[in-house]
Structure 1
Amino acid sequence: MDWTGRCIRDGKRGAIPAHIRPILQRLEIKQDNWIDGIQHYGNHFYKVVGIMRHLLEETERQGRKWFKGQSAARLLYQ
C-alpha cells in the first residue's frame, strides 16, 4: 500500500512524498504482524481497529466497556 502510494506515474494525481514516514510507521502498526492482522481481521477485530489508546478513547466515547480487538491491538500495534 505504501509502495503504491509513493509511485510517481504519468496520469496519477499525486504521490506520497519521500520525506513522509511509511504508512505503517505513522499508524504505529508492527509490520511483522500486519499480514496476520489482515488475513484474520474478523477473528481479531469487529467495529474498530487502531492503537490501544484510540480503542480506549472510542470505547469511552460510545459509553462501552470494551470492543472486540483490544487484546489484538496489543499484539498488532506498537
Structure 2
Amino acid sequence: MSKAFYETLGFTLFGGQLEKNYIIMKNGNSLVGLFQDIFENTIITFNPGWDENANPIDKFDNARTIQKHLNLKTLN
C-alpha cells in the first residue's frame, strides 16, 4: 500500500484494517482511503452525508449535483 507515502505527507491512520487491505488516513480535514486488491480499477469515491470525522451531516451536495454545476460552468 501507499501508507508510507501518505505518512510522509503528514497523514495518520484514521480507520480501516491493514490486514484486510484497506485503511483510511487523515491529515487535518483531508481523508484518503487506500484499498489493495479490493477494486478492479482505480476509482474515486465519496461519502456524502459524512464529515471528515465520519459523523453524519444534515445537508450536503451529492457528487452528481456538483458535477452538473461544474459541467454547466465549463460550457458557458
TM range (shorter): under 0.3
Q: TM-score, normalised by structure 2?
A: 0.27
Q: TM-score, normalised by structure 1?
A: 0.27
Q: Which has the higher contact order (CA 8 A, sep 6+)?
A: 1
Higher strand content, 1 or 2: 2
